[in-house]
Amino acid sequence: MTHFPEDLQALRTVRDLVRWGASEFLRAGLVFGHGTDNALDEAFHLVLWRLRLPLDLPAVYLEANLADSERRAVVELLNARVQTRKPAAYLTGEAWFCGLAFEVNEHVLIPRSPIGEMIGDEFRPWLATPPRRILDLCSGSGCIGIACALVFPEAQIDLAEIDQRALAVIERNVRRHGVADRVSVAAGDLFAPLHGQRYDLIVSNPPYVPLAEWAALAAEYQHEPRLALEAGDDGMDVVARILSEATAYLEDEGTLVCEIGGSQDEFDARFPKFPGAWPEFAHGGDGVFAISRKDLQAWLGTQSPRKKGKK
Ligand SMILES: C[S@@+](CC[C@H](N)C(=O)[O-])C[C@H]1O[C@@H](n2cnc3c(N)ncnc32)[C@H](O)[C@@H]1O
């Protein structure tokens, strides 16, 4: 049930509502990290979205008086954020990645991968030439593959995802961004639906959160699909399969780019002496490796059969 402040009339302006929302968020101990990292930015984003105003609203309009119906609509949305603990993007149905708007719902992870920065940089210096064929493995909303399609207008892109409900979101995002002529969507378990395909670039943000860590995540993250986050005791179950299977799907000069986020210790323990490069990010984030097919093949040759596959 919506809790309207007794003195709702005192919240006259856009600025008043942003300030009130941020205070409520902090009072409730909300956790941020799905597009914003603090209460004021989160409230600002939600207030402007509800009022259908642009995020680059000139400051003078922050002082605009609101109609009573607008005030109530905004307070309802801010209350929903507090009461449901859903990340803002699930309340608005939209998230931004690489400067592009993507439809999201609770069947897909909210886009936030630092790989977005690599896409903006056209994967330099990790790719010598623009890739002709790209695979976005574990695509979720399709954000990585679709952003790649727009950055590399000559490339053919495959998006692979196991969750049928996520696939429906991907299809809509592919249409939304007008790239259906160059983007194919494959349903299935990792590489299974891609038999015989070869790529210049395989890029993946797979699930990599250790089970115990996933269970302890804040309520906001529990709204995201477990399949998108949790990947076994050390979080490396899906990553291990990608490492052992990727060479069969990479061109000789191909490159694998894969995110493992904050699971660096688990990665190092499971895959010792891994020769990949770890890009640094100017806009935040870490835990992404890039490795050529040749280096991956050579490293796999040094691994015992037990280490190549599952634990
Ligand atoms: C961390 S999310 C990443 C989503 C998206 N690429 C992004 O960066 O926002 C991982 C995705 O992998 C999918 N997934 C998990 N296991 C998979 C598997 N075995 N095969 C294919 N997709 C899988 C999940 O359903 C989820 O959509």
300 and 229 within one domain = yes
> Is residue 47 within 8 Å of 78, Cβ to Cβ?
yes
Compute, in degrees rounded to 10, the torsion defined by CA atoms 173, 176, 177, 181: 90
pLDDT for 10: 85
55 and 154 within one domain = no
Q: Are strands 133-137 and 199-204 parallel, antiparallel or unpaired?
A: parallel
- What mean pLDDT comes out for the span 201-215? 98
| Three-state secondary-structure class, residue 276 | coil
pLDDT for 309: 46
Which atom number of ligand 1 is nearest to the Cα of residue 190?
20
Q: Is pLDDT at 2 greater than 80 in this prediction?
A: no
Confidence of residue 306 (pLDDT cuts 50, 70, 90): low
Nearest residue (CA) to ligand 1, atom 7: 111
Instruction: Count CB atoms within 10 A of the CB of residue 282.
Output: 9
Instruction: Tabulate helix, strand, coil % of the chain (nearest 5).
Output: 45, 15, 40
Half-sphere exposure of 14 (CA within 13 A, CB side): 20
> Is residue 310 within 8 Å of 240, Cβ to Cβ?
yes
205 Cβ below 6 A of ligand 1: yes
Q: 20 lies in a domain? A: yes
Q: State pLDDT tens for residues 130-139.
A: 999 999 999 9
301 and 233 within one domain = yes
173 Cβ below 6 A of ligand 1: no
> Is residue 45 within 8 Å of 36, Cβ to Cβ?
yes
Q: State pLDDT tens for residues 152-171.
A: 999 999 999 999 999 999 99
Which atom number of ligand 1 is nearest to the Cα of residue 204?
6
143 and 255 within one domain = yes
pLDDT for 308: 47
Which ranges of the chain does DSSP label H, i.e. alpha helix? 14-28, 39-50, 68-84, 88-92, 115-120, 143-151, 164-176, 211-215, 219-222, 226-229, 237-245, 264-270, 293-302, 305-308
286 and 166 within one domain = yes
Q: Which residue has the higher pLDDT, 11 or 8?
A: 11
Instruction: Count CB atoms within 10 A of the CB of residue 306.
Output: 8
pLDDT for 65: 94
Helix 14-28 vs helix 39-50: angle between axes, to the nearest 10 degrees? 130
258 Cβ below 6 A of ligand 1: no
Residue 289 CA to residue 74 CA, distance in Å, equals 42
126 and 41 within one domain = no
Q: State pLDDT tens for residues 101-122.
A: 999 999 999 999 999 999 999 9
Q: Is pLDDT at 76 greater than 60 in this prediction?
A: yes
Confidence of residue 310 (pLDDT cuts 50, 70, 90): very low
Confidence of residue 305 (pLDDT cuts 50, 70, 90): low
Confidence of residue 284 (pLDDT cuts 50, 70, 90): confident
162 Cβ below 6 A of ligand 1: yes
Residue 128 CA to residue 184 CA, distance in Å, equals 24
- For the chain, give the longest Cα–Cα distance: 70
- What mean pLDDT comes out for the span 74-87? 97
**Which residues, including other chains, have CB under 8 Å from residue 288's CB and lie 6 or more apart?**
113, 114, 115, 118, 257, 258, 259, 260, 278, 279, 281
Residue 311 CA to residue 308 CA, distance in Å, equals 9
Domain span holding position 65:
8-92
In this structure, what token pair is assigned to residue 163?
A: 């969750």
290 Cβ below 6 A of ligand 1: no
In this structure, what token pair is assigned to residue 158?
A: 């495959």
119 Cβ below 6 A of ligand 1: no
* Number of domains the chain is built from: 2
179 and 56 within one domain = no
Global confidence as pTM? 0.94
252 and 126 within one domain = yes
